[in-house]
Structure 1
Amino acid sequence: MLTTAKILSGLMGLCVGDALGVPVEFTSRAERIESPVTSMLGYGAWNVPPGTWSDDSSLTFCLAECLCSGFSLDAIANSFRRWYNEGYWTPHGDVFDIGNTTLVAIANLQQGTPPLKAGGTSEMSNGNGSLMRILPMVYYHKSLNFSELIEQTHQVSCITHAHARSQIACGIYISIAVSLLEGAEPQTAYIKGLANIHKIYSASDYTSQMPHFTRVFSGEIAKLTVEEIRSSGYVIDTLEASLWCLLNSSSYSEAVLKAVNLGGDTDTTAAVTGGLAGIYYGVENIPQEWIEQIARKQDIIDLAARFEAAVYKL
Structure 2
Amino acid sequence: MTLYDRIYGCLLGGACGDALGAPVEFLKLEEITSRYGPEGITGFDAAYGTLGAITDDTQMTLFTVEGLIRAAVRFAERGICHPPGVVHHAYRRWLMTQDQPFEYLKSHGDLDGWLIHEKRLWARRAPGNTCLSALRAGGPFRETAANNSKGCGTVMRDAPFGFVDLHNPWRVFTLAAETARTTHGHPSASLSSGALATIIAFLAQGRALLEAVEQTLSLLKTSPGAHEVENALRLALRLSEAADWRERLHDLGGGWVAEEALAISVLCALATDNSREAIISAVNHSGDSDSTGSITGNLVGAWYGPAALPNEWVDQVELRDVIEILGRDLATVLEGEFDSDMLWERYPGW
Q: TM-score range by the shorter chain?
A: 0.7 to 0.9
Whether the 8 Å contact between 2:275 and 2:304 is mirrored in structure 1 is: yes
The C-alpha deviation readout for 1:80-119, integer Å capped at 9, x for no partner, is: 222221353674532232111101111112xxx1233352
Instruction: Name the counterpart of 2:75.
Output: none
Match of 2:273 among 229, 235, 250: 250
Whether the 8 Å contact between 2:169 and 2:201 is mirrored in structure 1 is: no
Instruction: Name the counterpart of 1:108.
Output: 137
Instruction: Name the counterpart of 1:11.
Output: 11
The C-alpha deviation readout for 1:182-218, integer Å capped at 9, x for no partner, is: 22222222223322x13532xxxx1x44156324236
Instruction: Name the counterpart of 2:331.
Output: 308
The C-alpha deviation readout for 1:26-52, integer Å capped at 9, x for no partner, is: 000112233310101113xxx331111
1:148 Cα deviation (Å)?
Answer: 2.1
Instruction: Name the counterpart of 1:24.
Output: 24
Whether the 8 Å contact between 2:83 and 2:175 is mirrored in structure 1 is: no
Q: What code does the residue aligned with 1:200 have?
A: T
1:145 Cα deviation (Å)?
Answer: 2.6
Whether the 8 Å contact between 2:228 and 2:259 is mirrored in structure 1 is: no
The C-alpha deviation readout for 1:284-305, integer Å capped at 9, x for no partner, is: 0111111111222112111111
Name the SS for the 2:336 alignment partner: coil
The C-alpha deviation readout for 1:124-149, integer Å capped at 9, x for no partner, is: x110001000001011123x633222
Overall identity of the aligned pairs, in %? 24
Q: What code does the residue aligned with 2:300 have?
A: A
1:79 Cα deviation (Å)?
Answer: 1.9
Name the SS for the 2:143 alignment partner: helix
Question: What is the total number of aligned residue pairs between the two structures?
Answer: 299
Distance 1:55 1:186, change over 3 A: same
1:49 aligns with 2:77: no
State the distance in 1 between where 2:119 and 2:46 align: 16
State the distance in 1 between where 2:96 and 2:329 align: 24
Point out the structure with max Rg over C-alpha. Answer: 2
1:173 Cα deviation (Å)?
Answer: 1.4
Match of 2:306 among 283, 304, 307: 283
Match of 2:156 among 110, 123, 132: 132
State the distance in 2 between where 1:275 and 1:22 align: 16
State the distance in 2 between where 1:262 and 1:12 align: 22
Instruction: Name the counterpart of 1:210.
Output: 227
State the distance in 1 between where 2:199 and 2:3 align: 19
State the distance in 2 between where 1:91 and 1:52 align: 11
Distance 1:145 1:281, change over 3 A: closer
1:256 Cα deviation (Å)?
Answer: 0.7
Distance 1:31 1:63, change over 3 A: same
State the distance in 2 between where 1:106 and 1:152 align: 18
1:273 Cα deviation (Å)?
Answer: 0.9
State the distance in 1 between where 2:23 and 2:199 align: 29
State the distance in 2 between where 1:226 and 1:299 align: 33
Q: Structure 1: which 5+ runs fail to align? A: none
The C-alpha deviation readout for 1:156-196, integer Å capped at 9, x for no partner, is: 1112113211111112212222222222222222223322x
Distance 1:81 1:73, change over 3 A: same
The C-alpha deviation readout for 1:261-307, integer Å capped at 9, x for no partner, is: 11321110100111001111210011111111122211211111101
Q: Post-superposition, which runs of at least 4 consecutive aligned residues in structure 1 deviate over 6 A?
A: none
Q: What code does the residue aligned with 1:82 have?
A: R
Instruction: Name the counterpart of 1:274.
Output: 297
Whether the 8 Å contact between 1:101 and 1:119 is mirrored in structure 2 is: no
Match of 1:192 among 203, 209, 215: 215
1:221 Cα deviation (Å)?
Answer: 4.2
Q: TM-score, normalization: structure 1?
A: 0.88
Instruction: Name the counterpart of 2:87.
Output: 76
Q: What code does the residue aligned with 1:217 have?
A: R
State the distance in 1 between where 2:314 and 2:146 align: 35
Bigger shift: 63-72 or 288-297? 63-72
Q: What code does the residue aligned with 1:97 have?
A: A
Q: CA RMSD in A?
A: 2.1
Instruction: Name the counterpart of 1:161.
Output: 184
State the distance in 2 between where 1:262 and 1:191 align: 25
Whether the 8 Å contact between 2:44 and 2:313 is mirrored in structure 1 is: yes
Match of 1:260 among 273, 278, 283: 283
Q: What code does the residue aligned with 1:64 have?
A: V
Counterpart mapping for 1:294-305 below 5 A: 294-305=317-328
Distance 1:90 1:9, change over 3 A: farther
Q: TM-score, normalization: structure 2?
A: 0.79
Whether the 8 Å contact between 1:58 and 1:90 is mirrored in structure 2 is: no
